[in-house]
Structure 1
Amino acid sequence: MSSDIKLFINKLKDNNVSPDLLNGFLNTIKKIKSQKEKRESIAVVGMSCKLPAGINSTDDLWKALLNGESEVTDYPKNRGWNMDDFYMPDQGSKGKVYVKEGGFIDDIDLFDPGFFGISPNEAIEMDPQQRLILETAYKAIENGGFALQNLQNKKTGVFIGVGTSDYRSLSLKTNQFENINFYSGTGNSRGVAAGRISYLMSLNGPSLTVDTACSSSMTAVHLGINSLLLKESDYILAGGVNLILTPQEIISRCKLGALSNDATCKSFDEHANGFALGEGCGVIVLKRLEDAIRDNDNIQAVITSSSINHNGGGNGMTAPNGKSQEAVINDCLKAGNIDPEKLDYIEAHGPGTSLGDPIEYYSVANTYCKNNNRKSVLYLGALKANFGHAEAASGILSVIKAALIAKNRVIPPQVNFHHPNSQIDWNEYPIEVPLEVKDLKKQKDEVYVGVSSFGIGGSNAHLVLKTSKEDQTENDTSEGNELYGLVLSAYKKNNLNAQVKNMIQFLKHTEQPLKNICYTQVVKGKRHKYRTGVVGKTKKEIIKRLNAFLDGSKKLGLFNYINSTNKSGIAFVFLDTDLRIER
């Protein structure tokens, strides 16, 4: 309670205000404070990502994190460049790179333009970053259980972090200016990355592309949160993308001396020698918490606050500033009225540099372990150690990892951490880098996670999120009493098979009750031309019939796909739980 309110209450007491009136006044203050806290909280209601090592969803990412997976590979051969021509181990060689490995996505050439209403000619001219962020945004909407129409009927903003636009170099690498055509400008403009999503999905809220270097996507999230709080948006798509399409970006980072010569990011380790190249894409769907609760959305995490600032002047534009990092964290904690002691884990920027890691460690220690009074352990890690530094997309990928930690109340192990950095006194503060899975379910109902993201130009961002209480309801695992119908649809027949395969894998591993899954698919899912439907009482029965669809065999409770442009149709409603169907 603020000093002004205390003073006012004391004056009321001095004037013999009745206890009932005084209690009513205090209850009103508590109610206003509670409503204010609700308004300041943002729900994460959808997430999607794509990373190296075949990670195409948040489920894939979570499994990889729990298993401590990391992957670096040679630069892909299908991007028009032979990196062996540019490789020279000597760091001083002009126009050369001393590392050619990293975390690369191997299928960025795959894209279905027809699904989004894009012509093949235009798709060829589109920067793969635009294609990838478009696909990921759509998947994030699907992950939230929304039909696109839900977002079209509201003010939906799009905020996307993009740091490079080097796709143009592929068509102009030999000064072939005659290759420039009608689509070249929009296809290679970073400013179009967000606008294309808004245009193709008919979203009418604010739409902008953000570039603050490595903190781009975290800054995009912050701007999206503010748009929701200002009521200029009802939904937000926030994210970022990073692909390394030409040698120029690699050469420039080699000249800066920022890259690890063994292509391994060793966050907070004694042998940290720079970051590894990384690619990735991530998008989250945001909504005001009170609206998400009202609409019974699938709330995956709750963002309590975020903040951004800049280093200002200092030792150099590319050098980290510990005081500014502390300031952005303190601003974030103040904005959310968060007790630093509540934090369980910090997803650090953690680039794995001898200069940056100690500075970031102590900025965390001086804010979350203030005056060294902290009693509980604060865990510290960084996603960059798994798949490299995804630069403009690194912040959003860290937010997705943080949301998964809060949702599951489990902290995954940190990879590539074997020898603690000797520039850090690890005994001074209760901060640990987790070497094994830390399950907090028995200890914590709510897990709080902080996320830091710093840009090479000096722009800093910090965010705190926590477990959603609405997501902690016990799953209904009782199956076999009711008959459920599951409907899947796709734009193309072959894509329907892929949808079915994905659903089979999902059903095998998810703890979500079958009735919730079927409800989302039937009520909120978009209806494409090719469809299949199955009925069953358990996940096992549903999986069996989905496999029958893939095998092309007839099975009780299986409806074959429909390919019809006729808008009218016949609907059958069966109420008998002993239903037998064959078609």
Structure 2
Amino acid sequence: MAIVGIGCRFPGSASTPEAFWDLLRHGVDAITEVPSERWDAAALYSADPTVPGKMHTRWGGFLSDVRGFDAAFFGISPREAMSADPQQRLLLETAWEALEDAGQPVDQLAGAPVGVFVGLSARDYSELQSRAGGVPHDIHAATGAAASIAANRISYALDLRGPSLTVDTACSSSLVAVHLACESLRRGECSLALAGGVNLLLAPEVTLQFAKAGFMAPDGRCKAFDARANGYVRAEGVGVVVLKRLSRALADGDRIYALVRGSAVNQDGRSNGLTAPNQKAQEELLRAACRRAKVSPGEVQYVEAHGTGTALGDPIEARALGAVLSEGRPASEPASLGSVKTNLGHTEAAAGVAGLIKVALSLHHGALPPSLHFERANPHIAFGELPLRVQETLAPWPRSARRRLAGVSSFGFGGTNAHVILEEAPPPPDSDAPTTNDAREHLLLLSARSDEALRALARTYADRLDHAGSLAS
């Protein structure tokens, strides 16, 4: 399967694939204190985690705007838009942007067998409305709060006729959604698929619960595989990828970011606790994904780890990776490890697709971005004995005689695990057409449903053209 389009909005103003790649390659830490419009973090904060009703962290990865939505663009009334969970609205806009990035005219998809597979687990918006006593008694309130509608609203708005479903496996939701999308494409249920996930932090209750459970890092940083690893930080984000069969993508002349060679999903079963990981299950998952991708584990050069930065999870994940990736691997070629959570925080239901997009962009640009906050290896991870190393700096990932291969892991805190094997895109076909540096001015036509939306679209194009110009120079 080919990844031919990407739409995303992540902390640090990473609202396009280009902006996200800039954040990654420059090693940007996008964590901030909780914005005042979300909740009063100062009133809920206490350095002592045992104080009832208080949390020992006031950090997170937040999107700059979760209220804005161009309802008129999608033919949605203001009343219905207000009733819809902002996660539904963000998914709808990001799905459109992913199709635009894929060069796919959306009107040509109407009535086509296009699948929609999204991960979503947060329910903050409906809980906020309920507490405020502001839930209207109409159908818009029901559809706006229903998780199933997150996928169905995209299918309805774009008149897509393929499978349409929302997945909730907690933190692995979006990578499970990618797995299901690829399986649906293989079975011929759809000719094109949108897959991804979303997560918003609109209320403090879950963060408070996780802090009391010991999951949260007091300093608000995911220090993956580091000796200081003491928990993670929650974050927001939305990501959507457009998937096609490779044969069709090549026939259509699509720009291909990367290939999904194979994927697998499994469960921890009875581990040391409901939320405790299972090393044996992770090893079985990795081997299953490699078998389905028809690759040797020793060929995988990079793994985008689940990498939350917890004292329990990191060593188990590293040992599972080491046990599997050592098979057929030269001792002089350790696999690199990284975690996008060190940049963004843990985007939970969107975490898997965030890692997938990171690796797809890394393959596309031929570079491995740094994993942040790694100073001294976790003493419970024997890096000297494992064929693994943490990717600490931006480094080239050039094409060579060996194909570039990477793995992406995502684990749900209830034990549902997913792993995807990505491969570099095939080289573009040789073109006999002469290349010219056309410096002439060209007319760019823009349209929108309102003056405000038109101005926003113009700014987006201007920023994108400026970015392309800076890369060319």
Is the structural similarity TM-score above 0.5? Answer: yes
CA contact (8 A) 1:194 1:207 kept: yes
The AA in structure 1 aligned to 2:72 is: G
SS of aligned partner of 1:173: helix
The answer for the alignment partner of 1:242 in structure 2 is: 199
Higher mean Cα deviation, 384-393 or 497-506? 497-506
The AA in structure 2 aligned to 1:360 is: E
The answer for the alignment partner of 2:447 in structure 1 is: 489
- Offset at residue 503 of structure 1 (A): 2.6
**Which of the numbers 273, 296, 299 marks the counterpart of 1:316?**
273
The AA in structure 2 aligned to 1:128 is: P
SS of aligned partner of 1:304: strand
CA contact (8 A) 2:298 2:327 kept: no
- Offset at residue 392 of structure 1 (A): 0.5
What residue ranges of structure 2 are gaps of 5+ in the alignment? none
The AA in structure 2 aligned to 1:49 is: C
| 1:72 aligned onto 2:34 | no
Q: CA offsets per residue over residues 404-455 of structure 1, 9 Å max, x none? A: 1111121011111111111111211332112211102264673211000000
- Offset at residue 505 of structure 1 (A): 3.1
Structure 1 distance, partners of 2:103, 2:449, is 18
Structure 2 distance, partners of 1:465, 1:442, is 14
The answer for the alignment partner of 2:213 in structure 1 is: 256
**Which of the numbers 88, 106, 115 marks the counterpart of 2:64?**
106
Structure 1 distance, partners of 2:341, 2:468, is 27
Structure 1 distance, partners of 2:386, 2:10, is 33
SS of aligned partner of 1:441: coil
CA contact (8 A) 1:372 1:429 kept: no
Question: Structure 1: which 4+ aligned runs deviate by more than 6 Å?
Answer: 472-477
Higher mean Cα deviation, 110-119 or 149-158? 149-158
**Which of the numbers 385, 388, 391 marks the counterpart of 2:345?**
388
The answer for the alignment partner of 2:375 in structure 1 is: 418
| 1:407 aligned onto 2:364 | yes
CA contact (8 A) 2:121 2:199 kept: yes
| 1:469 aligned onto 2:426 | yes
The answer for the alignment partner of 1:185 in structure 2 is: 142
Structure 1 distance, partners of 2:399, 2:296, is 21
Structure 1 distance, partners of 2:470, 2:398, is 17
| 1:161 aligned onto 2:119 | yes
Higher mean Cα deviation, 103-112 or 457-466? 103-112
**Identity over aligned pairs, percent:** 39
The answer for the alignment partner of 1:503 in structure 2 is: 461
Q: Give the TM-score taking structure 1 as reference length.
A: 0.77
| 1:304 aligned onto 2:257 | no
CA 238–117 in structure 1, closer or farther in 2 if over 3 Å, else same = same
CA contact (8 A) 1:160 1:220 kept: yes
Within 5 Å, give how 1:88-99 maps onto structure 2. Answer: 88-99=46-57
Structure 2 distance, partners of 1:383, 1:477, is 37
CA contact (8 A) 2:235 2:345 kept: yes
The answer for the alignment partner of 1:125 in structure 2 is: 83
| 1:360 aligned onto 2:312 | no
CA contact (8 A) 1:341 1:374 kept: no
**Which of the numbers 77, 98, 104 marks the counterpart of 1:140?**
98
The answer for the alignment partner of 1:377 in structure 2 is: 334
Aligned positions, number = 472
The AA in structure 2 aligned to 1:292 is: A
- Offset at residue 482 of structure 1 (A): 7.6
The answer for the alignment partner of 1:480 in structure 2 is: 438
Q: CA offsets per residue over residues 248-268 of structure 1, 9 Å max, x none? A: 111111121100011111000
The AA in structure 2 aligned to 1:333 is: C
Structure 1 distance, partners of 2:117, 2:399, is 37
SS of aligned partner of 1:245: coil
The answer for the alignment partner of 1:336 in structure 2 is: 293
The AA in structure 1 aligned to 2:448 is: A
CA contact (8 A) 2:287 2:297 kept: no
The AA in structure 1 aligned to 2:71 is: P
Structure 1 distance, partners of 2:332, 2:111, is 48
CA 409–224 in structure 1, closer or farther in 2 if over 3 Å, else same = same
Structure 2 distance, partners of 1:390, 1:86, is 21
Structure 1 distance, partners of 2:192, 2:281, is 31
The AA in structure 2 aligned to 1:236 is: A
What residue ranges of structure 1 are gaps of 5+ in the alignment? 1-41, 514-538, 541-583
| 1:227 aligned onto 2:184 | yes
- Offset at residue 293 of structure 1 (A): 1.0
The AA in structure 2 aligned to 1:70 is: D
The answer for the alignment partner of 1:52 in structure 2 is: 11
CA contact (8 A) 1:267 1:385 kept: yes
CA contact (8 A) 2:366 2:399 kept: no
The AA in structure 1 aligned to 2:382 is: D
Q: Give the TM-score taking structure 2 as reference length.
A: 0.94
Q: CA offsets per residue over residues 100-130 of structure 1, 9 Å max, x none? A: 2111112101111111111111111111111
The answer for the alignment partner of 1:5 in structure 2 is: none
The answer for the alignment partner of 1:8 in structure 2 is: none
The AA in structure 1 aligned to 2:242 is: V
**Which of the numbers 3, 9, 21 marks the counterpart of 1:62?**
21
SS of aligned partner of 1:367: helix
Structure 2 distance, partners of 1:333, 1:346, is 12
Choose 1 or 2 for highest CA Rg. Answer: 1
**Which of the numbers 407, 411, 414 marks the counterpart of 1:454?**
411
CA 512–325 in structure 1, closer or farther in 2 if over 3 Å, else same = farther
Higher mean Cα deviation, 425-434 or 187-196? 425-434
Structure 2 distance, partners of 1:476, 1:188, is 54
The AA in structure 2 aligned to 1:503 is: Y
The AA in structure 1 aligned to 2:261 is: T
The AA in structure 2 aligned to 1:209 is: T
| 1:116 aligned onto 2:74 | yes
CA 211–501 in structure 1, closer or farther in 2 if over 3 Å, else same = same
Q: CA offsets per residue over residues 343-389 of structure 1, 9 Å max, x none? A: 12100000000111011111111111127644423110000011100
Structure 2 distance, partners of 1:459, 1:66, is 30
Structure 2 distance, partners of 1:420, 1:507, is 41
